[in-house]
Structure 1
């Protein structure tokens, strides 16, 4: 089994946090989005992962440190890491084809901008599985249309009329991903463009037209990380799940002086908390100082100092110095507010 991870986007909706860090490497509940996504997929697939192919963007942004972390991620799961580049933002189908050398055999394709909680049960009789989540506003999503056999017969983007309430979440399984590769090559060769880009859906639709059987897979939770607010909501949900899983969320190296922690919280290595109340629903990365502060429902990355603050619904980057009165804030890396 292979896992293919397109992650070349810059994450503009999550700025300023993605000005210096690619969105898939933004930590949620103490772990980068892509690390958590790939690890969770590997865990629930229940079979060995041979290769994980990552499709990255500009090397000036997705640099050596990013490549190193992804190689370590794959090797930690017993898999080979393959690194590819998408030099131009030409769409989801184009991104997948940038990894064409890895497109053979059974594979899961997962876009690295969401997190899930699921129990995968692959239908080995189907040619492909598209994972979906029931939503209350299907007109805002791409949805699947099913026949009476519960097979997917159509993909519809943001339908004006009700088609179904099963939204595509961006995770797919192909019994032989080389079939998708063939159809996407046709899309590229014939310059089939939708929305100004080459789309994975056009390759999938060609597979359906050729009689390939697509079925749905259901996830229990689908959590977005598209902007600051939903990332904070995802952080809260993930902390709750990890607490139920009895995961260790607070490092043994945390230093506390007159401090209170209200769970669930993730607190990384080397964090110092003085005269402060932290939680609930807070993630704090390694090496931070939290002093004379009350903070809840927030996400703080690494090596950041926060003093004299009352924070709620805040997202703060790496290497930030913050000493101030504002409550709901979004501060990128290396900022100083004193």
Structure 2
């Protein structure tokens, strides 16, 4: 079973981090985002994903493929790559995966994280052709929705509806029993120029074609829907994961002459001394914190914070801050030394 992840966009809403770190590799409490996505699908389907196919843009940063491959390899997963030569829409991005669309496939946006409903049994995927994970949103007009008839039967999938008549909202995570059918639908759209919302080829429209062609479709409830597509939503996702306590987090207490205030996460390989960490702080692997207060902030891998009081801050990999205060945002390898 393959997971296809379209990520050909420029990630402008997540700059400066997207300049160097692809969304699936953003650290989330000690694990890259892609692993959270894989875990969600494995839990919902009762079996693991075998391969991840990343659809990159033509100007993907140097080393992105190696980094993604290494992350997948560390979790026993094969990685493959395709290129979307120009941004013509989400359906076009999936089509660029080519032969990787054959067989059972999953599709999910690179910045989507979800938790399947733990009360539901693993999906009996042989009984349906298409599954979409959904949540209910009071006003879903910015998203895609599932439209049902008076008997509850799925009759349409609509991208960015003009009304809020239907509130069962698509989160961008799907299972397809036979990807060749989706491939045919997308190829037909591209050949006929059937663009949708925003003048682009929309994946929701391709899935709607499957429904119109008689595909047996079901929806599955997502207990939680998060994303990492913007700096604000990344910060909100970190807070939600800390609140949920689903991952190993540091309990309140002392460490290296420091105080850790829950909920917070301090990676075992971080070096924290004479500091106050938390609440809602994340300190990733290899980070160094000295004589500092770090609250409601994320300090990414191998970053250094000294003599600072940070609140609402985001520090990228290997960033360095000294004598800094407040809601500092530093991209990877950036430095601020306010104390000279």
Scaled by the length of structure 2, the TM-score of the pair is 0.88
Aligned-partner SS, 1:220: strand
Q: State how far apart, in whole Å, the 2-side matches of 1:105 and 1:60 are.
A: 27
Shift, 1:93, TM fit: 0.6
**Partner of residue 117, structure 1:** 115
**Partner of residue 98, structure 2:** 100
Aligned-partner SS, 1:35: helix
Question: Do residues 71 (structure 1) and 69 (structure 2) align?
Answer: yes
CA contact (8 A) 1:265 1:279 kept: yes
CA contact (8 A) 2:157 2:205 kept: no
User: In the TM superposition, what whole-angstrom CA distance separates every residue of 1:130-155 from its partner, at most 9, and x where no partner exists?
Assistant: 11111233233222211244332222
Shift, 1:122, TM fit: 4.4
Aligned-partner SS, 2:19: coil
**Partner of residue 196, structure 1:** 199
CA change 1:327–1:83 in 2 (3 A) is: same
Q: Pairwise mapping of residues 1-338 of structure 1 onto structure 2 (< 5 A)?
A: 1-58=1-58, 60-61=60-61, 63-64=62-63, 66-76=64-74, 78-119=76-117, 120-122=122-124, 124-194=126-196, 195-241=198-244, 243=245, 245=246, 247-249=247-249, 256-338=255-337
User: In the TM superposition, what whole-angstrom CA distance separates every residue of 1:69-99 from its partner, at most 9, and x where no partner exists?
Assistant: 4334444555433221222222111111111
Shift, 1:41, TM fit: 1.7
Kindly report the root-mean-square deviation, in angstroms, between the aligned alpha carbons of the 2 structures.
2.3
Moved more, 217-226 or 187-196: 187-196
Q: State how far apart, in whole Å, the 2-side matches of 1:72 and 1:333 are.
A: 19
CA contact (8 A) 1:317 1:333 kept: yes
CA contact (8 A) 1:256 1:272 kept: no
Q: State how far apart, in whole Å, the 1-side matches of 2:183 and 2:220 are.
A: 21
Q: State how far apart, in whole Å, the 1-side matches of 2:138 and 2:69 are.
A: 38
CA change 1:6–1:327 in 2 (3 A) is: same
Q: State how far apart, in whole Å, the 1-side matches of 2:110 and 2:195 are.
A: 23
Aligned-partner SS, 2:182: helix
Aligned-partner SS, 1:182: helix
CA change 1:260–1:56 in 2 (3 A) is: same
Q: State how far apart, in whole Å, the 2-side matches of 1:47 and 1:270 are.
A: 31
Q: State how far apart, in whole Å, the 2-side matches of 1:210 and 1:267 are.
A: 50
* Runs of at least 5 residues in structure 2 that lack an aligned partner in the other structure: none
CA contact (8 A) 2:272 2:288 kept: yes
Q: State how far apart, in whole Å, the 2-side matches of 1:97 and 1:223 are.
A: 26
Shift, 1:256, TM fit: 4.1
Q: State how far apart, in whole Å, the 2-side matches of 1:149 and 1:124 are.
A: 23
User: In the TM superposition, what whole-angstrom CA distance separates every residue of 1:146-195 from its partner, at most 9, and x where no partner exists?
Assistant: 12443322223333322222211000111211101001001111122232
* Runs of at least 5 residues in structure 1 that lack an aligned partner in the other structure: none
How many residue pairs end up in the alignment?
A: 330
Aligned-partner SS, 1:273: strand
CA change 1:151–1:77 in 2 (3 A) is: farther
Q: State how far apart, in whole Å, the 2-side matches of 1:88 and 1:292 are.
A: 48
CA change 1:48–1:294 in 2 (3 A) is: closer
